[in-house]
Amino acid sequence: MHAAVYYETGRPEVFRYEEVADPECGPGDVVIRVEAISIEGGDTLNRAGGEMATTPHIVGYQCAGTIVEVGDQVAERRVGERVVTSMLWGSHAEMRAVPEAVAWPVPDGADLVTAACVPIAFGTADDCLFEFGHLEAGETVLIQAAAGGVGIAAVQLAKRAGATVIATASSDERLARVAPLGIDHPVNYSEDGWVDTVRALTDGQGVALAVDSVGGKVLGQSAACLASRGRLISVGSAGRDPQPFDVSLLSMANRSLTGVFLGAEVGTPRVRDMITRHIADVAAGKLQVLVDRTFPLAEAAAAHAFLESRQAVGRVVLIP
């Protein structure tokens, strides 16, 4: 098979499009022929400086395709079934082997490119808002980086749950493309004074919950947007701007900070069932996935560079 691989971490230019060995199918695994690869934010971070589990390394959490082989201990999946899969690495390739537990069936008639973008984005958003964020109807939530995959999912899930949604992005143009999905108050966080804008939208009280996937200095600004007893969720660091977090921002008003990583529980029955529901809702048109652009797998370097340019609204997808 062919894959986008690298021999050292670094800028997108480290990618090489090469022929590598087909994956082996373990007893509890399924092997899929990959048809769509959703590039996750973690994929770009791993390529830039993450751990290399193999050499050459095939990066990538999430992709969808058709099962071509199953292990002898596989109970539910079958050859010919369309699935979307999530794993710590290996998506940027023509074939992939994953445990059965992290392969979700795609409903008949559903678009496979769209399905490829669901589990991590919607699963992460759901955990941030509800499992750990405890969002309730009538509360106000701040969703940072609303034009990204997790942000777009979070906007829709929060609105559907009856929350008032304040959402940020780096430009008015990007906000305008996401606003119809459920943003009540769009805020451009590239402008000075955006924290004051958020607080003004809540009559100075602050938000009950903030979901922050940017990190760095923005995480502190998210904390400053919280109401008394507000909850702050940190999920990744897309801003790539590491800075110490000032915990006094929490203790002054009995606020809390929780870190969320979907991968820690992705194979559990709770998460499997939750993601299954989101795949069904996307397939039925009850939730939307935005795909900004597709690239051939051979152009993985260009696709990663485009995603890192922060021009995309929604997902960037590779097609083998």
**Does residue 277 sit within a domain?**
no
Instruction: Please state whether the peptide bond connecting residue 56 to the residue before it is cis, i.e. omega within 30 degrees of 0.
Output: yes
For 141, the token pair is 């939530």
Whether residue 24 is found in the same domain as residue 48: yes
Whether residue 166 is found in the same domain as residue 51: no
**Per-residue pLDDT in tens (0 to 9) along the chain, 320 residues:** 999 999 999 999 999 999 999 999 999 999 999 999 999 999 999 999 999 999 999 999 999 999 999 999 999 999 999 999 999 999 999 999 999 999 999 999 999 999 999 999 999 999 999 999 999 999 999 999 999 999 999 999 999 999 999 999 999 999 999 999 999 999 999 899 999 999 999 999 999 999 999 988 899 999 999 999 999 999 987 656 677 888 888 988 999 999 999 999 998 999 999 999 999 999 999 999 999 999 999 999 999 999 999 899 999 999 99
105-to-1, 36, 72, 76, 81 alpha-carbon distances in Å:
23, 14, 19, 10, 7
Whether residue 23 is found in the same domain as residue 74: yes
- Count CB-CB contacts under 10 A for residue 193: 8
> How many Å apart are CA 95 and CA 66, to the nearest integer?
9
> How many Å apart are CA 88 and CA 43, to the nearest integer?
9
**Does residue 284 sit within a domain?**
no
For 305, the token pair is 């560079």
Q: For residue 32, give the amino acid letter.
A: I
Tell me which H or E stretch contains 228.
strand 226-234
Which one, of 280, 275, 296, lies nearest residue 121 by Cα? 275
**Does residue 272 sit within a domain?**
no
Whether residue 36 is found in the same domain as residue 136: no
Whether residue 128 is found in the same domain as residue 216: yes
Number of domains in the chain: 2
> For residue 84, what is the domain's CATH number?
3.90.180.10
Torsion of CA 278, 279, 281, 286, to 10 degrees: 100
Residue range of the domain that includes 38: 2-117+289-319
Pairing outcome for strands 29-38 and 16-19:
unpaired
Whether residue 22 is found in the same domain as residue 76: yes
